[in-house]
Structure 1
Amino acid sequence: MKIFISNLHGQSDSSTAMIAQNTVTDIAKGMWMNELPISYFPINSLSLEQMAERAAEIANNLSRDDVIILQLPTWNGIAFDEILIESIKKRQAKMIAFVHDFVPYMFAKNYYLLDRYLNAYNQTELLILPSQKMGDMMTEAGLKKKFVIQELWDHHVNIPVKVNQEFNKNKVVFAGSLTRFPFIWDLDGQLDVDVFSNDQGRDNSSIHIKGWQPDAILIHELANSGAMGLVWSENFTDRPEREYSKINASYKLSTYLAAGIPVILREENAKAEIVSRYGAGLIVNELDDLKNKLNEMSQEDINQMREHAKKLGFLIRHGEFTRKVLVDSIFKAIGDEKNENI
């Protein structure tokens, strides 16, 4: 028996979707798993026959009773994912679907694909999901398979992280596009905000554009910021991002924690419970309350929160959450016949 993991290639170097898959694969290869690369292609650029040929090339690497951790979606469209899963089934390999994003819940315009995604994922032995709530919603909608929960994303970076000893209550950091997250401008004049994106700034603004940075450099900059990291979403037309944050695992959240800095997020966020459990962040339900909440923190609160964030960051940088969920899912898929969730 061999264990394989799929890995996305061919998207932009700044693609969070590809970075997440590459990171998981890097950790998995350190656990003696074998990479199965999947090339990205624009949806509808290939015929069904061409998709089947690509899927067969991937599946032909597998033998009976091998285990394949399939990182999904492949971002090549549901048609390709269906064909790929069917091709793997023919090889009689055991499939674990590591669901990074669930497209029907992510985009309102794709909700009509719900049954197709569930039918495809029901062909696997087991799913890795970002939250219990997502699993419950999928089960209610027709998912018939067991699942394990991914607690946090890892950032497998081999760099020394030295957190700035100074802390500025009047400053936060935000990694994300202001085009996608325009509500950050609401903090203009209230707090200093360092934004890591390639957006256009404004004159005489407290919103400071720092540019997009690759993971290792970004983590260094965040660690040196002397601030907390903001994890925030709002709903937009066709993008129910606030609703999705209630069931999804934020990669941005783990980026901040990997840098050893505490985070700010809503209580409804899917990862608020684990952040609170580790004492590594501040729960704020409205952006208008953020400045007051920061000012209300005592120095002791700040010191404890920052210390807890540094400890959690150590685990994230060393890939411990990914290792745990991969091991749990493999044992569950090949050795546990009970119909229970971990």
Structure 2
Amino acid sequence: MTKRLCYISRNYQTIENSGNKAKTDNEHTLRELNAHNLGLPTTYYDSKIITFFFDLAGIIKMMFTIKNGDIIVLQYPVKKYFSFICNYAHLHNAKVIALIHDLGSMRRKKLTIKQEISRLMHADHVIASNKMMATWLKDHGYNKSLGSLGLFDYKSISTSKEHVYENNDYSLVYAGALAIRKNAFLLKMQDMIKGYNLNIYGNRNGLPGLEDSNCIHVHDFMKSEDFIANVKGDFGFVWDGDSLDTCTGSFGEYLRWNSPHKVSFYLRAGLPIIVWKEAAVAPIIKSEGIGIGISNIAELNDILQSITLEDMQKMRENVSRVSKDLSNGVFFNKAVSDGMEKLKKE
């Protein structure tokens, strides 16, 4: 019996949302793998009401299109339907692979850890965002088949510019939705930057007190394709919280376990990464040679001055290699293939 690889598409309210962008990219990869959509065609309506009914209709269609032995890839969380889909699949001798985008028990605290693990145990194989998250799941009671993604893929039409370095006068790039609870550290950086520039892309109104200076330049929000093709800077900066000494708050702590979509976004724009040393993606960035980890932001004053042009050129070459993998869906493809192999052995 040939096992079909399947998924259930849904309505996505906006593609500019990083979570939706990651999910639609993964659906694109699944189609490239000839996966069968058990639900309705993908739609992009803004209405929450339409989203509810389209997603529900997709689940109902799945009940009539599922076949014995199917392997269904679900992108977790799936709102109210995750456990139902898993249980219904098992009734039809089908199996479920769940890719984790977000854990409600970590950042938003919408579930207790026990509730989240219990929910995930309905799947037959779970793909954690990275190895650190996989370890966390095992430590908290998840004991079924488990794999990890590493980085979220990022498909884009645009490509980054070639860059030739003539000196080590480097600049950082920080992009995202600006808010006090997430990016207050940027306000404190205004008084301590030495020897480099910081380009911020986002709505400055979200961070009152953020001002342009000799070393800080605030740019308007830029659409992702435009950013990838035109961003000015040398490193993509990944940091959250209100402290210069460590990543803090719910967003900062979450970096210990998740793989920020922003990392993949920066890499597609040709930017090596500067990230908190304790972030879950820091080991990947180090092993791939695509950036550096720091313990605190004050270190940047010396670290950036010490990076040679040869170091920078090598990092850019590694970024180019990994960026192509991200655009081709390599990380997700491998994680799904590994999950299918594990399920076949079982």
1:256 and 1:262 in contact (8 A); partners too: yes
Where 1:105 maps in the other structure, the secondary structure is coil
Q: Distance in 1 between matches of 2:56 and 2:152?
A: 31
Contact 1:163 1:259 in 2 (8 A): no
Letter in 2 for 1:171: S
Paired with 1:185 and 1:15, the residues of 2 have a C-alpha distance of: 25
Q: Please name the residue that 1:134 is paired with.
A: 133
Give the match for residue 56 of structure 1.
Answer: 60
Distance in 2 (CA, whole Å) between partners of 1:46 and 1:308 is: 42
Q: Contact 2:174 / 2:238 at 8 angstroms: preserved in 1?
A: yes
1:84 correspondence with 2:85: yes
Any residues of structure 2 matched to 1:165-244 within 5 Å, and which?
165-166=164-165, 169-179=169-179, 180-188=182-190, 190=193, 191-200=196-205, 202-205=210-213, 206-222=215-231, 225-234=232-241, 240-244=250-254
The residue that corresponds to 1:33 in the other structure is 35
Deviations 1:171-190 (A, max 9, x none): 20012122132212222252
C-alpha RMSD of the superposition:
2.9
Aligned to 2:4: 2
1:70 to 60, 68, 74: 74
Whichever residue aligns with residue 198 of structure 1, its letter is N
SS in 2 for 1:321: helix
Q: Is the alpha carbon distance of 1:304 and 1:197 closer, same or farther for their aligned partners in structure 2, counting shifts above 3 Å?
A: same
Q: Residues 259 and 310 of structure 1 are in contact (CA less than 8 Å); yes or no, is this contact kept in structure 2?
A: no
Note the residue ranges of structure 1 that are not aligned, 5 or more in a row: 338-342
SS at match of 2:186: helix
Relative to structure 1, is the Cα distance of residues 212 and 5 closer, same or farther in structure 2, using a 3 angstrom cutoff? Answer: farther
Q: Deviations over 1:184-231 (max 9, x none)?
A: 222225243222223338554343333333332221123xx2410001
Q: Is the 8 A contact 2:99 2:129 kept in 1?
A: no
Q: Distance in 2 between matches of 1:186 and 1:196?
A: 17
Cα deviation digits, residues 210-259 of structure 1 (max 9, x gap): 3333332221123xx241000112379x9522222111111111111122
TM-score (norm 1): 0.84
- For the 8 Å contact 1:169–1:227, the answer to whether it is kept is no
The runs of 5 or more residues in structure 2 that have no matched partner are none
Q: Supply the distance in 2 between the matched residues of 1:287 and 1:46 (Cα, whole angstroms).
A: 43
Q: Are 1:290 and 2:300 matched, yes or no?
A: yes
Q: How many residues align?
A: 325
Aligned to 1:268: 278
Instruction: Please give the per-residue CA displacement for 1:24-68, whole angstroms capped at 9, x wherever unaligned.
Output: 11112111112345889869x989xx9977633333321111111
TM-score normalised over the length of structure 2: 0.83
Identity of aligned residues (%): 21
